[in-house]
Amino acid sequence: MVEDWISQANARQRQGRAGRVKPGICFRLYTRYRFEKLMRPYQVPEMLRMPLVELCLQIKLLSLGYIKPFLSMALEPPKIEAMDSAMSLLYEVGALEGDEELTPLGYHLAKLPVDVLIGKMMVYGAIFGCLSPILSVSAFLSYKSPFVYPKDERQNVERAKLTLLNDKQHGPGDGNDIDRQSDHLLMMIAYKRWETIFNEKGPKAAQQFCGSYFLSSSVMFMIREMRIQFGTLLADIGLITLPKFNQVCCLFLLSIVYEVGWVTKTPRVLHLAGTPHKPGAMLAEMVALQSNGTYDHVPLPCDKTIFGLDYGDSHGCQDRDPTKDRWGTERS
């Protein structure tokens, strides 16, 4: 968020609040010169000061035609450069293809009120069965870092970070240098440790943990709420079942978390020909895997998705019998 001065119209509107019920006084903490000479008469339209990515997705979701002609009909249309930048990002992440056609991935991203890159990471996390750590990373990226830096304590903060990353009981466990270079994994581990202590020992112990590792307790609680919100959003579009979205072993799926973080910038969406467009089938089309990816034989658990999937032949994916578990054994 960038702080900016309000407009003259905003100031007059706020002045009206002071006398809405009875006569009042409005105190303004700026000079008359600033109000009359420096403040804008009216607020700049949101379309001209905010990224257009989400707006472009909504235009395609509602089948309102091509993006540029539609936005050009606005009273104060955005610049062509801003439109091109938004469309370029949507093509890059795989939300659009061809002649501004909305992909299955783009359809789901349009349903998620988050940044498209974070939204794609959450979708991949749901598909790969590593959603719990991905929700933590997504929440931190959407909010802010949980670490605080008291005066003259920077070295101690960095030392605390290394301690978290090198903790073999809760962290990656192999001590790779690449693990110690990842802020995302650090956030994931920090939240997992905090959540475990909070659930098992209570808020006082969680507060002590935050103090020991220079973490902001208020930020951790906010991340907790954001994880719930993100999980609810994914459940609303049919990608997960709420009671199960956080029942994932972070340690076992750590390598897949790496992969999800990388592939979200280079999508390849697999389309299942002849599949009807219903919620389950749409998820099947969302299995975006690199054709030469590292994890081309990772089994997708049926109980982690609404639509059970397995890797088929060279033509793509095949449906899995919902009466069987992930390994093909009859369910009891």
Please count the residues of the chain: 332
Question: Can you give the pLDDT at residue 296?
Answer: 39
In this structure, are residues 216 and 190 in contact, taking their beta carbons and an 8 Å threshold? no
Q: Which helix (H) or strand (E) holds 97?
A: strand 96-97
More confident site: 38 or 327 = 38
Q: Which helix (H) or strand (E) holds 163?
A: helix 154-166
Q: What is the mean pLDDT of residues 302-330?
A: 38
Q: Which helix (H) or strand (E) holds 101?
A: strand 101-102
In this structure, are residues 105 and 269 in contact, taking their beta carbons and an 8 Å threshold? yes
More confident site: 2 or 13 = 13
Both tokens of 116, joined, read 């498209």
Question: By mean pLDDT, which of 188-192, 197-201, 314-318 is the weakest?
Answer: 314-318
Strand partners, 112: none
CA angle 61, 67, 73 (to 5 degrees): 115
Closest CA to 78 of 135, 331, 86, 301: 86
In this structure, are residues 219 and 143 in contact, taking their beta carbons and an 8 Å threshold? yes
Query: In which band, very low, low, confident or very high, does the pLDDT at 92 lie, cut at 50, 70 and 90?
Result: very high
Rounded CA separation 232/151 (Å): 39
Question: Can you give the pLDDT at residue 237?
Answer: 87
Helix (H, G, I), strand (E, B) or coil at 147: strand
Closest CA to 304 of 288, 320, 318, 315: 320
Rounded CA separation 114/6 (Å): 26
Rounded CA separation 156/258 (Å): 27
Rounded CA separation 126/303 (Å): 11
**pLDDT of 222-261, one tens digit each?**
999 999 999 999 998 888 886 544 444 443 344 455 555 5
More confident site: 15 or 173 = 15
CA angle 233, 236, 237 (to 5 degrees): 95
* pTM score: 0.64
Q: What is the mean pLDDT of residues 16-39?
A: 86
pLDDT above 70 for 129 = yes
**pLDDT of 160-191, one tens digit each?**
999 988 875 444 444 455 445 678 889 999 99
Backbone angles phi, psi at 119, to 5 degrees: -60, -40
CA angle 154, 179, 295 (to 5 degrees): 150
In this structure, are residues 52 and 71 in contact, taking their beta carbons and an 8 Å threshold? yes
The CA-based dihedral angle spanning residues 198, 233, 179, 310, taken in that order and rounded to the nearest 10 degrees = 120
